[in-house]
Amino acid sequence: MTPDTHKETLGFQTEVRQLLKLMIHSLYSNKEIFLRELISNASDALDKLRFEALTDDALYQGDSELKIRVSYNKDARTVTISDNGIGMSREEVVAHIGTIAKSGTREFFDKLSGDAARDAHLIGQFGVGFYSAFIVADRVTLTTRRAGLGAEHGVRWESSGEGDYSIETIEQPARGTEVTLHLREGEDEFLDGFRLRAIIRKYSDHINAPILLPAEGKDKTGEETVNRASALWARPKNEISAEEYNEFYKHVAHDFENPLAHLHSRVEGKLEYTLLLYIPAHAPFDLWERDSAHGVKLYVRRVFIMEDNKHLLPRYLRFVRGVMDSNDLPLNVSREILQGSKIIDSIRAAATKRILGQLEDMAANEAEKYATFWKEFGRVLKEGVVEDHANREQIAKLLRFASTHHDAEQQTVSLADYVARMKHGQDKIYYITAENFNAAKYSPHLELLRKKGLEVLLMYEPVDEWVVGHLHEFEGKPLQSAAKGELDLGKFSDKEDEEVRKKAESELKGLVERIRSALGDKVAEVRVSQRLTASPACLVSGAHDLGVHLERLLKASGQTVPGGKPALEINPDHPLIKKLDQEAEDARFEDWAHILYDQALLSEGAHLPDPAAFVRRLNNRLLEIGQ
């Protein structure tokens, strides 16, 4: 016996063990879904076989009628789900059933709180699939044979869903997979043909392949098909119920919850294709994994070809799930062909337009839904501003920001809302980018804008820097950073202010020069500010510089940053500045100048390059109090 064929007992990956325990508790209230999950896997296995057989017809071995069977045995107290699909090799069983080979799994498990109610939601998000069998079974036996391998390559896997599983190589004449559930005490309700039928109709009617059950009733023999067994997306819209759309979503997206919205359209003309696309209600746990396997499923004339998250839709729509079925592509389409395909290009462009249109409708008519969408996927959609030149304007309309218009942190303000609220004579859209909401909201850069009653968009997500880097205007109104360059308030900078500043400038000329030489090459310039009303100082980047915040982001991601130095602006009315002007002693003056600079950095949420020096200087000055 080679080590590969003997019976061995292997431990589940730690995550699987955790998952099994949690799942049994948290999904128990909806335990019948185990059948949906196992049928969904069987259906995927049929799809994969059909695809592989396109290039290798021999895989069918004379049995090309692909089907799923569900049966039960009252005496043995078992329910069995079998398919004649692709099957699994021994290695595949270990890889797919003994481990969770999804990227980001560990991070996901670190997030679980141990609170069953909260985690139930997360577990659904993770998609537990096969393991849901253990909700109703205390022993699960799986036998399988990979299509294309000989009969001696069958595999038998068994587990009671606790710490480990056994696996052995067996003789298995037919390809495909059979999963037998040995029901737990008290789960006999599933040993009933009518009950099983009802569950299949409820959750799995949309499955493409026939699902067979032993015929019920006295005189009946043989099997009968219990589902409709036709591609859901190929049916007319008005014949599909909301439930059917939802259940189909759970199957294609491997999700446990209903989607937020769907769009279904058939296009006929030069190209013929059908789209059935969904926007999920929550972000999948691996939304930020570059190589996440899930995406949209491509079919060619009802035959599943592949799932893909790079070619069928732009990256910034990678949260969309569903099906694209083309009548024009060749059946042997490969990933390489996808890349340069004119047909795929035009389907992708049309699908993108439709999804954006759908989101626009949702934003206009279903505000609450749109808020959910934005919370889950807003950060991804924002990438579209950078990525998708052609649709930039449409995407810009979909953006939502926090703003000084609201007190609380809520990303609800659209650029159109902002423009509609612009004051008479205001010609710019003001924004600020910062580390977090509070750093943005309380930034000293906003003081004058606040005083003038001008609204400012508060941006504090890393992607925002790229958004404003690519979105220069909206409806003809330029976007203007409140933290860069001269703050041009247009009509709102009244003459008086300007005169006051001019006066302060000439009065403080000496002070400005002294601070400048104290700070040396830390700053490009020191100048009298017009944007401050309450804070003593702030740092301002050049109009075309990256900005303090973006510089920090780039540095954090390990990039070298072309160092444009900021200007230090001082508030001539602030008591500290006035006091500083009186300071005769050089050492003390120098401390103050550096403290001013450092606190300007701190107020932006930045880290100080030399925090110890800041503390020392501050303490020097504190010690003088009351002396």
Given 53, 88, 252, 396, the residue binding ligand ADP (CB under 6 A): 88
Question: Rounded to a whole number, what is the largest CA-CA distance in the chain?
Answer: 110
Smallest distance from the beta carbon of 439 to ligand ADP, in angstroms?
Answer: 40
Report the alpha-carbon distance of residue 331 to residue 325 in Å, rounded. Answer: 11
Query: How many residues at the interface with ligand ADP, by CB under 6 A?
Result: 16
Report the alpha-carbon distance of residue 133 to residue 417 in Å, rounded. Answer: 50
What count of other Cβ atoms lies within 10 Å of the Cβ of residue 56?
10
Smallest distance from the beta carbon of 79 to Mg ion, in angstroms?
Answer: 17
- Options 34-42, 475-483, 495-503, 554-562: segment touching ligand ADP (CB under 6 A): 34-42
Burial 513-535 (b: 16+ CB within 10 A, else e): ebbbebbeebbbebbbbbbbbeb
Residue placing its CB nearer to Mg ion in the complex, 130 or 466: 130
* Helix boundaries (H) for 240-399: 242-253, 335-340, 342-365, 367-381, 383-387, 392-398
Residue placing its CB nearer to ligand ADP in the complex, 68 or 456: 68
Given 153, 156, 251, 254, the residue binding ligand ADP (CB under 6 A): 254
Residue 68 touching ligand ADP (CB under 6 A): no
Residue 41 touching ligand ADP (CB under 6 A): yes
List residues bridging with 539 in a β-sheet: 568
Residue placing its CB nearer to ligand ADP in the complex, 83 or 325: 83
Smallest distance from the beta carbon of 83 to Mg ion, in angstroms?
Answer: 12
DSSP character for 225? E
Residue placing its CB nearer to Mg ion in the complex, 126 or 492: 126
Measured CA to CA in angstroms, residue 365 lies from 361, 369, 371, 441, 448 at distances of 6, 9, 12, 30, 36
Given 96, 139, 195, 369, the residue binding ligand ADP (CB under 6 A): 96
Helix (H), strand (E) at residue 518: helix 509-519
Q: Is the CB of residue 304 less than 8 Å from the CB of residue 297? A: yes
List residues bridging with 303 in a β-sheet: 300
What count of other Cβ atoms lies within 10 Å of the Cβ of residue 148?
17
Given 169, 177, 227, 530, the residue binding ligand ADP (CB under 6 A): 177
Instruction: Choose from Mg ion, ligand ADP, none: what does 535 bind? Cβ within 5-8 Å by kind.
Output: none
What count of other Cβ atoms lies within 10 Å of the Cβ of residue 435?
17
Instruction: Choose from ligand ADP, Mg ion, none: what does 83 bind? Cβ within 5-8 Å by kind.
Output: ligand ADP
463 contacts: CB under 8 Å, gap ≥ 6: 379, 382, 383
List the one residue out of 212, 216, 252 whose CA is nearest residue 229. Answer: 212
Helix (H), strand (E) at residue 203: helix 193-204
Smallest distance from the beta carbon of 243 to ligand ADP, in angstroms?
Answer: 21
Given 19, 20, 27, 45, the residue binding ligand ADP (CB under 6 A): 45
Which residue of the chain is nearest ligand ADP when measured via CB? 129
Residue placing its CB nearer to Mg ion in the complex, 40 or 204: 40
Report the alpha-carbon distance of residue 149 to residue 301 in Å, rounded. Answer: 28
Instruction: Choose from Mg ion, ligand ADP, none: what does 437 bind? Cβ within 5-8 Å by kind.
Output: none
Which residue matches tokens 């008290």? 186
Given 83, 205, 388, 465, the residue binding ligand ADP (CB under 6 A): 83
Residue placing its CB nearer to ligand ADP in the complex, 53 or 446: 53
Instruction: Choose from ligand ADP, Mg ion, none: what does 177 bind? Cβ within 5-8 Å by kind.
Output: ligand ADP
Q: List the x/- string, 116-135, binding to Mg ion by CB under 5 A.
A: -------------x------
Beta pairing, strands 164-170 & 154-159: antiparallel
Residue placing its CB nearer to Mg ion in the complex, 254 or 382: 254
Q: List the x/- string, 128-157, binding to ligand ADP by CB under 6 A.
A: -xx---------------------------
Given 41, 403, 443, 481, the residue binding Mg ion (CB under 5 A): 41
Residue placing its CB nearer to ligand ADP in the complex, 127 or 384: 127
Q: Is the CB of residue 110 less than 8 Å from the CB of residue 214? A: no
Residue 280 touching ligand ADP (CB under 6 A): no
In degrees, to the nearest 5, what angle opens at C-alpha 274 toward C-alphas 272 and 275? 140
Residue placing its CB nearer to ligand ADP in the complex, 321 or 382: 321
Residue placing its CB nearer to ligand ADP in the complex, 83 or 205: 83
Which residues are at the interface with ligand ADP (CB under 6 A)?
A: 37, 41-42, 45, 83, 85-88, 96-97, 127, 129-130, 177, 254
Which residues are at the interface with Mg ion (CB under 5 A)?
A: 40-41, 129
